Structure 1
């Protein structure tokens, strides 16, 4: 069996701070209440010690942004499309995002299904 995932509630409890404080630190949110560098470091150190890992899917749902660009390509053997795809991927990754690629093989039903998955 795998290890149980550590939650931000557990990080907050262990670090002796509020759940809101941990959330603001993990999400790099500066609000009206400033968090000291000492507190930030304590929370980050506690999270690392406990093995906390962010859930990218939960973060994407909260932000309503995935950080993923979806691309459907009709033919993986087309050298022009492959070069274009490489350039797009470089640009997207330089913006700290990722590319999800679907190959349609000129099939409309496949393209529609993959587009629905991407959406």
Structure 2
């Protein structure tokens, strides 16, 4: 049942891994206001979508009671998002022309927190991290 409710999040994560492995660092960045570019917005948005899908899957499952959405569920999702952000950046180290970016990890975490806030706003739930 875990995969039934979290299939969209898992597919999204696999797509993110695929894009991270195929992205080239030598592509000319498209900058918007103040040096903040499309790549940075992409980092944030991909984790907003990931956290929304992941929290929705946790909210809908009933078999794994420890994962059923509660305030600990938010904590598990954010810890998982941090570990996945770290994995996305660490997987780039052995790939030629792609570089590790600590800013990417920070932007991914910003996207994860925004996704958790958006989920709590959409479901009108109080959001607690403890």
What TM-score do you get using the length of structure 1 for normalisation? 0.22
- RCO comparison, higher one (Cα < 8 Å, 6+): 2
Q: Of Structure 1 and Structure 2, which has the larger fraction of its residues in helix?
A: 2
Higher-Rg structure is 1
Q: Of Structure 1 and Structure 2, which has the larger fraction of its residues in strand?
A: 1
What TM-score do you get using the length of structure 2 for normalisation? 0.21
